[in-house]
Amino acid sequence: MICNNFKGRLVLLALALAVLCMGCSGGDDSTTSEQGGDFTHTPTADVTARIEDLKLLLPEEAYDTITEKSRDSQLCRERNREQLDLPDSPNGQWYYLYKNLIKGMAEWKEFANEGDENTRKLEIAAFLANIAQETGTGKQMDPTFGGPGCFIQEGDGSKWGSDEYSRDCNKLNPPTCAPAGYCGRGPHQLSWDYNYKAFGEDMDPNNKDLYFNDPDLLTKDPEIGIAGSIWFWGYADLGSSKDPDKPFKPSAHDVLVGKWKPTDKDKACGRTKADFGVIINIINGGIECGSGAENPGAAENRVKYLEEIAKEMGVTIPDGFLDDCSTQKNFAECVSYRPTPLVPTSRCGEDWIDANSFCGPCCTTNEDCLPEYPYCGGELNPKPGEKTCSCED
């Protein structure tokens, strides 16, 4: 999948959902999450040392090999580059430079900085494997590594209303503040207005609405765009409960370093241990995970890319870590914790996107919805300026 593919707009859509468990069983939530918390900034005095450490974990020669197919490809350019005054050269020659990637990683203190050396290298390899699927060239151009370091921005981005894709993207991410909207940007396609807002608050509390007001900055500035994707890797989505001890989804970082432990309900949903499948589930479980997955091949690609990238980096993949999430229910379909109080937390719509676009009927399963609004999935998380939705009345 490449980021200007129509289905690319759904990559992070699962972050918006927090529905009750359907068809899950198990005992009490006796096994608790050991969340480490979201990423924090590396102290200025430590940045240089962090950069040098990261260079040892990911040597430039290895990065050049992994990105060889995308670095000079003329296909790896944004369609709206003239509008945004981006360089005309391939993105691998100005955005996905080795120094930019290392600096974006170094921005956050915890990334590739916990556990032993192999664990730290594995985190980088897992990140690269996922961005190969999110914004890479695809397996046709690079069947080995997936060509990470290709695309930046989902679709036409700022070109609202200019074509069918942009209209769909407008529906997905209503431009409640920034005319550019909040479709995916950066190697991990940071999406949705609330994620841009949360990233801005963490990135610079003194100017917290900077990226919410001008999301295209993540496309124009590679260090910011890459830092945004690393931030997302370390971000635990709390969902509607807003309880840091019971997140809707853990962070990919906490899963990889072993800070996340499955609850009884996770185990009943097939998420039995901290493995790569859970990380895929966090990123795009609604599309790629489970028996009825729409695109299970994408999850299989991620696993293959990780195997090859790890081999190039000299990483030992722990036994049982490789998993394509095919036996896991996604976090939206089957949550980790029993909601309290037990009230509906979702709303109906024509499809996943539509359920998030308006205050439709409240629901807990599809059976609660009307024929004209058959899908139960939208989280009750109103956008700025939108009327408040409530299922507790």
The residues annotated as belonging to the active site are 134
Go through 97-110 and write b for each residue having 16 or more CB atoms within 10 A of its CB, e for each that does not: bbebbbbbbbbbbb
Q: Which two tokens stand for residue 126?
A: 């897992």
Compute the distance between CA of residue 346 and CA of residue 241 in angstroms, rounded to an integer.
Answer: 12
Task: Return d(Cα 213, Cα 196) in angstroms, integer.
Answer: 9
Distances in Å between the Cα of 148 and the Cα atoms of 13, 130, 316 are 21, 9, 21
If one counts every other C-beta atom within 10 angstroms of the C-beta of residue 318, the result is 14
Distance CA 278, CA 289 (A): 9
CB 190 within 8 A of CB 131: no
DSSP string, 284-326: HHHHHSSTT-S-HHHHHHHHHHHHHHHHHHTPPPPTT----ST
Distance between CA atoms of 299 and 277, rounded to whole angstroms?
8
Query: What are φ and ψ of residue 348, in 5° steps?
Result: -90, 160
**122 Cβ neighbours under 8 A, 6+ residues apart:** 256, 310, 315, 316, 317, 318, 321
How far is 34 from 281, CA to CA, in rounded Å?
Answer: 18
Q: What is the rounded CA–CA span in Å between residue 363 and residue 370?
A: 10
- What is the DSSP code (8-state) at residue 388? P
Residue 109 CA to residue 49 CA, distance in Å, equals 11
Which structure tokens are listed for 352? 């996943």
Residues 6+ apart with CB under 8 A from 112: 54, 57, 105, 120, 121, 123, 124
Name the amino acid, one letter, at 127: F
Q: How many residues does the chain have?
A: 393
